[in-house]
Structure 1
């Protein structure tokens, strides 16, 4: 038999390698449900009441977790605005299809009608990014199209430029940002938006993100869309009234929402990520072998007795 060329031998070996790696000895990927059912109490955390907002609408309650690790000055201003009732009686006045809903003072641009911001600061620096070395970053195993590395920081989807570079929150579904004008430092946290459509990652490092919705997204994504081009609900009759936005820490413990969020810095979370990137339930016939940062929805639950 003629000898195979060396290159052909090497190619055959390379092609055989994945089959060996993926053979019977490889541990099977658990389903998402199996991972969550096997979790322990230590895999879950209770959001800090001082960093949790309750947004009460006629349709129900939206729970927002603030991110002081990324935007400390904006978060402090938001706490002040909530304590002083700035958003009580305000409204959702924008619903842009496949993009965002925005809420706050519909008359913010009219000096004669604008709501007073009380003792909140009226000027803040842009907080688009932080030094990565200051954050406990838990990376994903896959590449990100928008940054050298993607992962999570204390429950928030994030990206970074290596351990010595910058890190920032990502504009994933449910992200809460501080609306601004053309100037980078023109936001104070009074006008906020929530991503309700496909993740607009092009906004990363261009707008200050202050947190994310951890419960009640269905109430925001169901807001009727406004007209093109920006989804502004010019008719006040179409505004969605906000009864109140309250800091959880301002309420007695028995009146706070019972909620736990899956931690993003554990082996259980790594298994959860793997269950999303290589789906093994009865429906999926071909595991993807990849997962996008914004396709990892972080589970929350009512605490078990």
Structure 2
């Protein structure tokens, strides 16, 4: 018995070092986001939030949808109209009147007879895409993450080029501004050699020279309904994507924001049986109680959200993890990702 005990102890001593050398589990994208420091999160201004309250559901539970509006310089003609429509309480009493499976949920005046507020702008089709103005600091290309050179800004050369890979069949690269996904037409240009403030010579680095950029139709993005060209829509008729990203709509319809809270109240609605998913029976429509800019609500009722900075190291790790899943469930890393497969994390801010 004593001999057996000594043998077992010796065997254990051989096993323990091997266990100690096992690598730490590779974190999932969600775990990377959960570990982000508070400094990596950016608050969304209440003035950029549109709050839609639908009629309560069949059990009397409230249904609130929160939309973050697109930042400048993108889609600003339509954004200005949307702010005027919200201030006029124009959407009150209208409805969600179209829900098409794997496509969109759409709301507005189903009768198309409600008078619009005065002073709405007519926006040109050229505004579907925008020339870079310095708001884009970084683009992601097939060659990795690149500093962006726009018409007005040159980002300093980084010391260590990262190795993130992307692929986008609809554009040459993509970017993020205020947490919003953008497609970018750009070309890679050789940068000039630079010297740091400490006198260190930095490596020559390629820049992505931006020609055009535009918001894209990912899940949860909000667009402006319109009739045939040259009509571009006023912003009174809106929809959100509730299915596979219809990227073929990019630069054909204005994208004005994204749903950051309550998407389930739209994506779970019964599908319309009429053409394009419109409800044939008016009784099927879901009434809209109100749509307001958050700043019009009492301070205690204003929703608060923040998004993960896309310029942070945490986001770079998160994006890499979304492109190359290495956590235990996955067998083969994909080696790339569509922009819509790298949704920018958003979280509500809990009042203290």
Report TM bin, short chain. 0.7 to 0.9
- Note the 1:100-139 alignment, pairs <5 A: 100-108=104-112, 114-121=113-120, 123-126=122-125, 127-139=127-139
Residues 306 and 347 of structure 2 are in contact (CA less than 8 Å); yes or no, is this contact kept in structure 1?
yes
Per-residue deviation at 1:302? 2.7
Deviations 1:216-264 (A, max 9, x none): 1111111111125401112110101111111001123211113222222
**C-alpha deviation, 1:265, in angstroms:** 2.1
- Name the CA distance, whole Å, in 1 between partners of 2:99 and 2:235: 18
Corresponding residue pairs, total:
276
Question: How many Å separate the matches in 2 of 1:301 and 1:89?
Answer: 29
* 1:149 and 2:173 aligned: yes
Deviation of 1:190 (Å): 0.4
Question: Is the 2:81–2:121 contact (alpha carbons within 8 Å) kept by the matching residues of 1?
Answer: no
Residues 263, 185 of structure 1: alpha-carbon distance in 2 compared, 3 angstrom cutoff? farther
Structure 1 match to 2:145: none
Task: Check the 8 A contact 2:25/2:327 in 1, yes or no.
Answer: no
- 1:286 and 2:332 aligned: yes
Moved more, 186-195 or 116-125: 116-125
| Residue 215 of structure 2, aligned match among 163, 169, 175 | 169
Q: Once superposed, what is the RMSD of the aligned Cα atoms?
A: 2.1
Question: Is 1:262–2:308 an aligned residue pair?
Answer: yes
Mapping for residues 111-260 of structure 1, pairs under 5 Å: 114-121=113-120, 123-126=122-125, 127-140=127-140, 141-162=165-186, 163-227=209-273, 229-260=275-306
Q: Take 1:101 and 1:28, find their aligned partners in 2: how far apart are those partners?
A: 40
Distance 1:229 1:88 in 2: 25
Q: Residues of 1 paired with 2:167 and 2:133: CA distance?
A: 20
Change (3 A) 1:97 1:137: farther
Which shifted more, 245-254 or 198-207?
245-254
Aligned counterpart for 2:39 among listed residues 30, 42, 46: 42
Structure 1: any 5+ residue segments left out of the alignment?
1-23, 109-113
SS at match of 1:145: coil
Once residues 240 and 119 of structure 2 are traced to their aligned partners in structure 1, the CA distance between those partners, rounded to angstroms, is: 21
Matches within 5 A, 1:22-33: 30-33=27-30
Shift of 1:181: 0.9
User: 1:124: Cα distance to partner?
Assistant: 2.5
Contact 1:101/1:195 (8 A) holds in 2: yes
Instruction: State the alpha-carbon separation in 1 of the partners of residues 283 and 103 from structure 2.
Output: 22
Q: 2:86 aligned to 75, 82, 86, which one?
A: 82
Structure 1 distance, partners of 2:108, 2:180, is: 23
1:60-100 Cα deviation digits (max 9, x unpaired): 11110001421111111101100110101110001111111
Contact in 2 for aligned 1:29/1:275 (Cα 8 Å): no
> Is the 2:46–2:303 contact (alpha carbons within 8 Å) kept by the matching residues of 1?
no
Correspondence for 2:202: none
- Tell whether the 8 Å contact from 2:29 to 2:322 is kept in structure 1 after alignment: yes
SS at match of 1:230: helix
CA distance in 2: counterparts of 1:239 and 1:260, whole angstroms: 32
Question: Unmatched 5+ residue regions in structure 2?
Answer: 1-20, 58-62, 141-164, 187-208
Normalised to the residue count of structure 1, the TM-score between the two structures is: 0.85
The separation in 2 between residues aligned to 1:267 and 1:120, in whole angstroms, is 44
Deviates more, 1:271-280 or 1:257-266: 257-266
Whether contact under 8 Å (1:52, 1:65) holds in the other structure is yes
